[in-house]
Structure 1
Amino acid sequence: MAVSNAPNQSPAASYGLSIGTEPMEAKLANALPSGEGWQYEPKWDGFRCIAFRNGSSVDLRAKSGKPLGRYFPEMMALLADLPAPDFVIDGELVIEVAGKLSFDALQMRLHPAESRIRKLSRETPGRLIAFDMLVDTDGTQILDKDLAYRRERLEALFDRIHADPKQFTISPATRDLREAETWLSGSGGDTDGVVCKLIDGAYRSGERAMIKVKRLRTADCVVGGFRYERDSRLVGSLLLGLYTDDGQLDHVGFTSAIADTEKPDLTARLEALRGGPGFSGKAPGGPSRWTTDRSSDWEPLRPELVVEVKFDQITGRRFRHGTKLLRWRPDKKPSQCDFRQIGL
């Protein structure tokens, strides 16, 4: 099996194909588009990737174009063994743990030690969920064909290969708006919303030619600490916490959606609460995907302030992304801010 793993090498070029590795992307909207002409699909909680197969050559590329193959050896082997000589597929890599998709398990794969990756590939094997086809099994490029045709060819591939659905499967799709609304209202676990595609639309690599709609939820959180702005003595972000069943305050994320005009007064208010225990359970660590550009230093506070925030996704009992501050909740007791309000 030949594998293309050079970070700057285009697998499309190495296979003699005139397409890029950039997937078609989506722009965010507040509601699902209605009317005929739309196909709706679940927005899966995983790593977006393009899967290439050209004879004995196999490659997996992230949305950034970087190679993913070394981190998912079980998927590389699966693709190489499929009874189809050529194809390029757009999809999502996911890992299931205890019956639910785990983004943390995916991130654990991005490890420098090959022995660790091999071990994880056996213990928590990945699955590729396919939702579009860019090159057919005879090597014909079909990006300029409409979605209905590309979906037909993708379904024909799966009818041919009889893949194990636990390893390689095709994403559900519907043209029924009511069914899509049901998917949207039930998202927040394995799925992150709904993606909407024009049925007669071509595949536009690198363009935001789709629409994504996320189910946004709210939570009341305790402000357990804060961070100053870089090179400033004004507040930059609030550190958010929720209480566990045993009364420990766990750090769950942050919000930096604070207006500049509010920062001086808010900083003074927060500094007056310094000296408290901060987070008695899981505390903020160093820079991570939640605190990329911020100092690892933070100021613990007495747990007296409550804010309502809007969020879209939870992974490992933490908000996946930064949240939006909606309002302060002086009417809410900090002890009422627990994981049960978000179903955990």
Structure 2
Amino acid sequence: MPPVQPMLAKAVKGVPQKGDYSFEPKWDGFRCLVFRDGDEVELTSRNTKPLTRYFPEVVAAIKEQLPERIVLDGELFVALRSSSGRDRLEFEVLQERIHPAKSRVDMLAEKTPAGFVAFDLLALGDESYLERPFTERRAAMTEALTGLTGPCFLTRTTRDPAEAEQWFADFEGAGLDGVMAKPLAAPYEQNARTMLKIKHERTADVVVAGYREHKTSTPESPLLGSLLLGLYADGELQHIGVSASFTAARRAELIEELQPLVCPIEDHPWGKWQEFLTANPERVPGTQSRWSQGKDLSFVPLRPERVLEVKYDHMEGRRFRHTAQFKRWRDDRDPESCGYEQLEEPVSYDLARVLSGADNPAGGDGDD
């Protein structure tokens, strides 16, 4: 029975060509653990919060389609038919399902029904599968879930890296956002980054910790200029960068949406850094550097309760090198779960070798 924490993934660049992996599509939905014991069904999120009341149609499908006693790891999703006649995952529509009113939940369950795709087995009958290698978990899950045609599904897998690369290219058009790689011999480790994820872009789930007003903002028409972002390291919220590219209408919407989170700086995790407002120590927000002399870097502190998914190009030290792009809110994530370990770590390389041409023994121009 819950709570059980799902196994996590670490971002890597490119489908691994070596090693014993099982590859599967990376679904774009809500991570969900399913617990069924007869007529009792519980759905829990990535951060172990209950999801059951928001997806009554999935609960009904689980009772109809899945074995009587089973625990599965998978993903909740909503797929809609596009104008071209093809189904596509719609994360924004899925987010609408998290609503306090039962009447709205029931209406959306009928209007935009969700599905569940299973991709790992934790228990079946009286047996726990947590300590078994993925090869055994997958074999038992395939046998137990044979014949599913929806709303519950079993994800496809392959051991062929070339086929996984083809999926990476082809499935994006259906709203999937990459490929997962699972070590065949690994057990199911709760809250451990055992799996690998290969995504179409570098993304990170970050904590919104404050904002700065736009230079055109006025008391009568307040506008948000940028969001200050943070990640947790050793239990403390560190400054990692900003997100700033918004339309004027979106700037007005965001500043209004964030007002309930405004708090005194003394109550904020970054309050202890007030004394450094002109010194610019590492990762301290709102501080001056030689590039920002004269700029107003004061910010409005927010209680760090909301999580945002951003797109970024690369890191410089422990910060985003450039402004991160606002992608979407992640209300299914706990702020404390957003740490540096989720970030892709580039392979280190000696700059001297680049400058000296040491990798080109022929001494040519490098285009051969």
TM-score range normalised by the length of the shorter chain = 0.5 to 0.7
Mapped to 2, the partners of 1:46 and 1:267 lie a distance apart of 43
> How many residue pairs align between the two structures?
251
Q: Residue 34 of structure 1 aligns with which residue?
A: 17
Partner secondary structure for residue 88 of structure 1: strand
Q: Describe the shift of the 1:83–1:259 C-alpha distance in structure 2 as closer, same or farther (beyond 3 A).
A: closer
CA spacing shift, 1:238–1:129, aligned 2, 3 Å: closer
- Name the structure 2 match of 1:120: 108
Separation in 1, partners of 2:118, 2:187 = 17
Quote the offset at 1:49 in angstroms. Answer: 0.8
Decide whether aligned partners of structure 1 residues 108 and 263 sit closer, same or farther in structure 2, where only a CA change above 3 A counts. farther
Aligned partners of 1:123 and 1:87: how far apart in 2?
28
Residues 102, 315 of structure 1: 8 Å contact kept: no
How far apart, CA to CA, are the structure 2 residues paired with 1:262 and 1:185?
43
Give the TM-score taking structure 1 as reference length.
Answer: 0.61
C-alpha displacement at 1:55, in angstroms?
1.7
Deviation string, structure 1 residues 224-271 (Cα, Å, up to 9, x no partner): 9733869xxxxx7352158xxxxx9977x9xxx999888664586799
Distance change in 2, residues 1:38/1:121 (3 Å):
same
Change over 3 Å in CA distance of 1:262–1:31 after alignment to 2: farther
2:154 maps to which residue? 170
Equivalent residue runs for 1:247-326 within 5 Å:
265-266=291-292, 289-290=307-308
Paired-residue identity, %: 30
Counterparts of 2:286 and 2:15 in 1: how far apart (Å)?
33
Whether contact under 8 Å (1:103, 1:315) holds in the other structure is no
| Paired residues of 2:118 and 2:155 also in contact (CA < 8 A) | yes
Matches within 5 A, 1:1-344: 11-12=1-2, 21-82=4-65, 84-98=67-81, 99-136=87-124, 138-159=125-146, 162-165=147-150, 167-186=151-170, 190-216=175-201, 226-227=225-226, 237-241=242-246, 265-266=291-292, 289-290=307-308
RMSD in angstroms over aligned alpha carbons? 3.9
How far 1:36 moved relative to its partner?
4.1
Distance 1:113 1:249 in 2: 28
Query: C-alpha displacement at 1:185, in angstroms?
Result: 3.6
Contact 2:309-2:328 within 8 A present in 1 as well: no
What amino acid does structure 2 have at the position aligned with 1:155? Answer: T
8 Å CA contact 1:41–1:194 kept in 2: the answer is: yes
Residues 41 and 314 (structure 1), Cα distance of their counterparts in 2 relative to 1, 3 Å cut: farther
- For the residue of structure 1 that corresponds to 2:106, the secondary structure is helix
- What secondary structure sits across from 1:152 in the alignment? helix
Amino acid at match of 1:240: S
Alignment partners' CA distance in 1, 2:309 and 2:23: 33
- Distance in 1, matches of 2:328 and 2:73, equals 24
Structure 2: runs of 5 or more not aligned: 82-86, 204-214, 217-223, 230-240, 255-282, 298-304, 311-320, 330-337, 345-368
CA deviation digits over 1:122-173, x for unaligned, max 9?
000001011011112x3311122211111111111222xx4332x1111121
Q: CA–CA distance in 1 between the matches of 2:293 and 2:89?
A: 39
Give 3-state SS (helix, strand or coil) of 1:122's partner: helix
Q: Matched residues in 2 for 1:177 and 1:148: separation?
A: 17
